[in-house]
Amino acid sequence: MSDFSRIMLFAKRLMLERLLSTRMYIMLPILLLFIPGMAWGFSDPNIVLPGGHQPDTAMEVLFYASLGVVFGATMCAVLLSYDSVSKERASGVLELRLSQPMPRSHQAIAMILGSWRAILGPTWVLLLFSVLIVRYRMGEWLSITDCLVYFTSTALILLWYVLFTLLASSYTREQGTAISFGVGLWFLFTFLWALVTTMVAYASGVSIGQENNAAWIMLEGGLDLLSPNGVYHHLLETRLPQIDRGIAAWQSWAMALVWTVLPSWLFVRRMEKILP
Amino acid sequence: MDEVVLHLMDATYRHSLYAPRTFKPWRRIRGQGIFSANLSLHKGTILGLVGPNGAGKTTLLRMMAGILPLQSGSVHDNDEDRGTVLSDEHLRKLVGHMPEQVRWQGRKTVRDALLEIGEMRQVSESRIDGLLKLVGLQSRIEAPLNELSQGMRQRLTLAAALLGSPKILLLDEPLNGLDPVAAAAFVVLLGKLKDKGVSIVLSSHQVEGLVEIIDRLALMHRGQILTEGTMIEVAQYLNLDKKTEITGEGDAPDFSKYGVSDKSIEIEQFSKDWKAVLAKSEPGLLKKLVEDGFEVISWNVRQPNVIEMLCAATGQSIEDVGLEVSSTAVLPLRTFRGEEE
């Protein structure tokens, strides 16, 4: 068996364990409500958003519906992976795993893939339903490129949250701290980031809250690159030509690469040095 | 002497401890651990690791299992002159490790749990079924881990350690949670593995009960291996002679009359009988006691036991120490090539 097959096999076991766990059954209705539910709501032909705006393309509707991913799927990613390392460490199974000849870096990669695929599978299925709902309600198909960007960006944001949570789980010796760290980080990027943006804007002398203020929009766009949710929306905005926040597509994809590589590297390094 | 399959040479690992200071909140220092351990494992032998709580037995086993990296020293696959230095990964291929008390839990089945570990070791499925049979879990193959008792979990951990037919088996407190019958079966299994040429290192608080199957003994205290060898070699090293246990009816004799000093005898007087343990053999004593009319019921000459050896090696006594955990905060003084650490 090659190293690659071994990693994939181990990842599959970890994925199935999480996919069939009780917490997944609890979270599925939440995901159902958040992802296809939002697509159904935003694709209503009579919907009028605050500011009198009406979404008029399938990609725009799915862009708004991506709030379901930001609020629901990322939280599920945290809740599925928070005990991936800490539970095994507390039970002694980690010690047994670390004494096996499979390199620790391979074990770490399998852990990332297993936890990620467990949340990615259901989310992608629900995104597919969302695309079908939008087609049914608006009579418009999403283009292949839009589809690719939408599905890839969603996969990436889930991966980032899984990585943060795995890192937290590997540093904590008990699961309460691991979940606090994961949920805390989710809370920061999902709810508090607007506060961070506002504070930086205030400190920089940029008028806050004024619509169509170019300086504010540019600053918010720049700061969003430092948040996984912000990068996610930047990636989706690459398919919405009417939105310009002063960030080029290559910058968004470059930051996506940084958000992917840096925590992955940190986690693999952490697992190489972890003590039982 | 048997072939050496693993040799630890000046192996050191000290745990990293937080020692924050006002301007260095993340400061860490090296604390207790294993200090310059030298140990050889011989093919097809069972080595018993004995030491008080906190002596470093588990740390040493983890070092030998390739889990804790050596901070200095090396591990060789043969004796120090002929062997090659082993990397952690090579070590893990060679060694099967049974950690202390793995709390298997979840809805995963016994078979799946073992398959997962087996895949990490590239072991075939058929071998896994055989191992489950060997440890007596064949009737529980499809049972969820949550439903296993502590003893069954121990058996599963043992099966995991045996995956991949390791040349060296490291067992940390393997008898914990096993019922007496299972413990006896476990001892038989160890004997079979030994006969197949597997080298076994056994750390157990119940070593006294395993003395019959142990070939060699290593006494540990405060992160150091104090001595290692066969039971007789260790006893000789510690200057411990064979003990003579005498029991009799009525009042205990005054042994000073027979030239036995108070220091070399322990006497216990019960209501109807008495027991005396002589530190050294006393030729002719039995004859004199019988001639003086004492009713001697038994006379038994035995090797010093593990507890006596441990007390002699560490300078502790059962009366003085009781249940107190020996302090590991103070690093042991040990001479390293003429210099004290």
Residues in B closer than 8 angstroms to A98, CB to CB, are: 67
Residue B197: Cβ within 10 Å count: 13
As to burial, measured by CB atoms within 10 angstroms (0-12 exposed, 13-18 middle, 19+ buried), residue B191 is middle
pLDDT band for position B37 (50/70/90)?
A: very high
The answer to whether A17 contacts B108, with C-beta atoms less than 8 Å apart, is yes
Nearest to A173 by CA among A275, A72, A254, A250: A275
Q: Which residue of A has its CA nearest to B157?
A: A96
A244 Cα to chain B: minimum distance (Å) = 44
The answer to whether B105 contacts A91, with C-beta atoms less than 8 Å apart, is yes
pLDDT at B80: 61
The answer to whether A99 contacts B100, with C-beta atoms less than 8 Å apart, is no
pLDDT at B79: 66
B-proximal residues of A, 98-157, CB under 8 Å: 98-103, 107
pLDDT at B338: 40
pLDDT at B324: 53
* CB-CB contact of A183 with A78 (8 Å): yes
* CB-CB contact of B156 with B104 (8 Å): yes
Which structural domains are found in chain B, ordered by start? 4-104+164-237 (3.40.50.300), 243-302 (3.30.70)
Residue B326 has pLDDT above 60, yes or no: no
A113 Cα to chain B: minimum distance (Å) = 15
The answer to whether B160 contacts A101, with C-beta atoms less than 8 Å apart, is no
Between CA B80 and CA B9 the distance in angstroms is: 7
Q: Give the mutation candidate from B112, B120, B150, B156 for the A interface (greatest A CB count, under 10 A).
A: B120
pLDDT at A173: 80
Between CA A228 and CA A123 the distance in angstroms is: 17
Between CA A224 and CA A208 the distance in angstroms is: 16
Altogether, the residues listed in chain A come to a count of: 276
Between CA A107 and CA A119 the distance in angstroms is: 19
From first to last of its 276 residues, chain A has per-residue pLDDT tens of 788 999 999 999 999 999 999 999 999 999 999 999 999 999 988 888 877 778 888 999 999 999 999 999 999 999 999 999 999 999 999 999 999 999 999 999 999 999 999 999 999 999 999 999 999 999 889 999 999 999 999 999 999 999 999 999 999 888 888 889 888 988 898 888 877 777 777 777 777 666 677 787 788 888 888 999 999 999 999 988 888 888 889 999 999 999 999 999 999 999 999 998
The ipTM of this complex is: 0.83
pLDDT at B316: 76
Residues in B closer than 8 angstroms to A102, CB to CB, are: 120-121
Between CA B295 and CA B298 the distance in angstroms is: 9
Residue A212: Cβ within 10 Å count: 6
Residue B36 has pLDDT above 80, yes or no: yes
Q: Model pTM? A: 0.86
Query: For residue range B226-245, what is the model confidence (pLDDT) as tens digits?
Result: 999 998 899 888 888 888 88
* CB-CB contact of B226 with B195 (8 Å): no
Domain ranges for chain A, please list them.
Answer: 3-273
A268 Cα to chain B: minimum distance (Å) = 16
Between CA A39 and CA A209 the distance in angstroms is: 27
